[in-house]
A and B are shown apart, each in its own frame.
Chain A
Amino acid sequence: MGKLLSRGFMCGAAIWIIFPIIVVCLAALNSGRTMFFPPEDPTLARFTEFFLTEEIWVRSLRTSFVVAFSSAGLAVLAAWPIAYGLWRRNDRGSKLIAGLALMPFALPPIVFGVGLVFFWGYLGALGNIWSGIISHAVLFPALPLTTLSIGLQSIDRAHLDAAATMGANEATAFRTIILPQMLPFTASGFFFALVLSFNEFIVIFFVSASGYSTVTVQIFNSLRNGFTPTMAVGAITFLTISALVFSLIARFGNLPQLLGSDSSKSS
């Protein structure tokens, strides 16, 4: 009885989470301009529109890709020295640096967005795509920082001691011991940042200043005419990317450990 009840509860939760997502996905099949659920006269024409024929969606999807990939790459580069310093020294200074680097992610993004408007406004870069990329790169180091720290924690210090005894300097030890073990954690951090950048709305909404638009911003800007089925294709695309990325992380990394549950660290 108890077991049945708990099964029922979990199923209920799954339905509660997945139902609106399914509604969005099915709405993409509508043939008219209005979102009907269940879809009226199902067709795949919206997919061709989104990916090939409608200029604004093709362009904004490309912008989304450019912003997400470059900013995630920069975020990983930004996070590496901070995570490494935190692990190596573990003193007050490095903790402060890590805390400050986490700040944009931890505080309401709308405040950071307002600050970035002023910041880029001063530099005359508001509405440039590279300022959007850097904005995301500053917002998201928190994720690679977390995965890298978890990874570094699990490195066996005895190996480093052994390497030092045998005459390896820090650079050699870094290249031969730390870097190979850290590749999965670096990749996980990169993909976490990538997916979040894809789906981020408010910061890029503030800094894009109608100079360019990612898919999320374009959808919001087109809201005046209501949601259309073509936007739902964007939702499906983004959902597929997320599912792909997290399945890969789960397959090649240890997802429960990355989320902080695993206690079986090798140190």
Chain B
Amino acid sequence: MTALPLPARSPFKRLGLLHVAVILTLATIPFLLVFAISFGHKVEGAAWVWSLEFSNYKRFFVGSDYPDTVSFLYLKYLWYSVWYALVAAVLAVATAFPFVWQMIRLSRRAQTLWLVFFLCSLTFSEVFIVMGWDILMSNRSGLPMLFRETGITDWLKANGGLDLLREWGLATPRNVRFKPSQFATILTLTYLVWPYAVILLYPPISKIEREVIEAARTMGAGPLTVMRTVVTPMVRTPLIGAVLLLFVFLLGAYVTIAVFADPSSHTLSISVYEAVRGATLNAPFGAAQAVILLLTAAGVLVIGQRFMSAKSGGR
């Protein structure tokens, strides 16, 4: 693509420069502030002051009283952030891929209808989605009630299934109980990004040329061989790319964790909020946690950049 020469005194130039300056200031300064404040010092019983100390990071990794005592509390939060996000992202992509594979065979009109449907559920606020699953998993209506009414609970009690569920934290002595639990958290997170997975996988998969697969088939390759030697190399890059993008998106999930996760398995986003605007009010430490969340995301995106071709970037 050759760019047209831009006239030296373009009427858009000055206006554009001002625009760009304002946008870039607003888009970058908040991140720089987070970074700078993460080195700040919290004054006991007061606000915080600028500083250049690593105590917030020390507190994150080994606890504030190190080396007297060691605390991995915040590493545990980070671990839960990564764990939930990774499992949900992999589950979503693994189940969305066969779906997209079917979807691209439909007529153009049908594809558009499906896309509208997914865009609606995609933009549906996390708050509402959590509301839906909260009703579905609440004890007085929803699944536990369904289990009791249909007799599944009694059946589970009779053959010991309920005891097994209790060990997994999914039941009380009387009935199944789905929240708070990791099961509910991961289920809702998977649901949250499922439409995203479809939208991300749709462009690269719809560009795969069916003729190549047909050719392989006519030349005598079985379905499994085709899957292994033709399809997998073509879709590996977009699949990994989608997992990474969804992972980054899920790292910052807040409402789902706040409602469905047990306080003992909360994530970094909860403790960031607590530190910045919530109960504990320690802005520098909140900033340091946010920086670590950001670095985790950035690290994943950098790895992703290697896998993602420039074209499948999409939105």
A residues contacting B by CB (< 8 A) are: 6, 9-10, 13-14, 16-21, 23-24, 27, 34-37, 77-78, 81-82, 84-85, 88-91, 97, 100-101, 103-104, 106-112, 114-119, 122, 134, 138, 141-143, 146, 157, 160-161, 164, 169-171, 174, 195-196, 198-202, 205-206, 209, 216, 219-220, 223, 227, 231-232, 234-235, 238-239, 242-243, 246-247, 250, 255-256, 259-261, 263
Docked complex Cα distance between A220 and B130 (Å)? 10
By a CB distance below 8 angstroms, the chain B residues around A238 are 124-125, 128
By a CB distance below 8 angstroms, the chain A residues around B294 are 107-108, 111
- If the complex has contacts A103-B28, A111-B34, A119-B30, are A239 and B136 also in contact, measured as CB distance less than 8 A? no
Report which residue of A18, A20, A23, A37 has the largest number of chain B beta carbons within 10 angstroms of its beta carbon. Answer: A20
Docked complex Cα distance between A263 and B128 (Å)? 36
Docked complex Cα distance between A160 and B4 (Å)? 9
Docked complex Cα distance between A45 and B138 (Å)? 23
Q: Is the CB of A114 within 8 A of B115?
A: no
Q: Is the CB of A84 within 8 A of B12?
A: yes
Interface residues in B196-252 by Cβ distance below 8 A to A read 199, 202-203, 206-207, 248-249, 251-252
Docked complex Cα distance between A178 and B119 (Å)? 28
- If the complex has contacts A111-B34, A238-B125, are A202 and B254 also in contact, measured as CB distance less than 8 A? yes
- If the complex has contacts A17-B121, A37-B142, A141-B23, are A250 and B115 also in contact, measured as CB distance less than 8 A? yes
By a CB distance below 8 angstroms, the chain A residues around B88 are none
By a CB distance below 8 angstroms, the chain B residues around A115 are 29-34, 290
Q: Is the CB of B126 within 8 A of A201?
A: yes
* Interface mask (B1-13 → A, CB under 8 Å = 1, otherwise 0): 1011011001110
Docked complex Cα distance between A122 and B12 (Å)? 32
Q: Which of B118, B136, B254, B255 contacts A17 (CB 8 A)?
A: B118
Q: Is the CB of B34 within 8 A of A114?
A: yes
B128 to chain A, nearest CB (A): 4
- If the complex has contacts A24-B131, A108-B252, A114-B276, are A97 and B12 also in contact, measured as CB distance less than 8 A? no
B125 to chain A, nearest CB (A): 4
Size category, B interface: 35 or more
By a CB distance below 8 angstroms, the chain B residues around A109 are 252
Q: Is the CB of A20 within 8 A of B30?
A: no
Docked complex Cα distance between A19 and B128 (Å)? 13
| Secondary structure class of chain B's binding surface, majority of residues | helix
By a CB distance below 8 angstroms, the chain A residues around B128 are 21, 24, 199, 219, 234-235, 238-239
Docked complex Cα distance between A103 and B314 (Å)? 15
- If the complex has contacts A21-B124, A35-B141, are A255 and B102 also in contact, measured as CB distance less than 8 A? no
Q: Is the CB of A21 within 8 A of B7?
A: no
B residues contacting A by CB (< 8 A) are: 1, 3-4, 6-7, 10-12, 15-16, 19-20, 22-24, 26-34, 37, 95, 98-99, 102-103, 108, 111-112, 115-121, 123-129, 131-136, 138, 140-142, 191, 194-195, 199, 202-203, 206-207, 248-249, 251-252, 254-255, 259, 269, 272-273, 276-277, 283, 286-287, 290-291, 293-294, 297-298, 301, 314-315
Known: A201-B255, A202-B252, A260-B203. 4 other contacts (CB 8 A): A110-B290, A111-B34, A119-B30, A196-B123
By a CB distance below 8 angstroms, the chain A residues around B20 are 81-82, 85, 97
Docked complex Cα distance between A227 and B121 (Å)? 20
By a CB distance below 8 angstroms, the chain B residues around A21 are 121, 124, 128, 132
By a CB distance below 8 angstroms, the chain B residues around A104 are 27, 30
By a CB distance below 8 angstroms, the chain A residues around B136 are 19-20, 23, 37
Q: Is the CB of A103 within 8 A of B31?
A: yes
By a CB distance below 8 angstroms, the chain A residues around B251 are 108
Q: Which of A20, A138, A174, A260 contacts B129 (CB 8 A)?
A: A20
Q: Is the CB of A260 within 8 A of B33?
A: no
By a CB distance below 8 angstroms, the chain B residues around A141 are 23
- If the complex has contacts A20-B132, A24-B128, A81-B20, are A118 and B11 also in contact, measured as CB distance less than 8 A? no
In the complex, 26 of the A-B residue pairs with CB atoms within 8 angstroms, ordered by the A residue number, are A20-B191, A21-B121, A21-B128, A23-B136, A27-B131, A81-B12, A81-B19, A82-B23, A85-B20, A88-B6, A108-B248, A108-B293, A108-B294, A110-B252, A110-B269, A114-B290, A116-B30, A117-B276, A118-B37, A118-B287, A142-B315, A161-B4, A170-B7, A239-B120, A255-B112, A256-B112
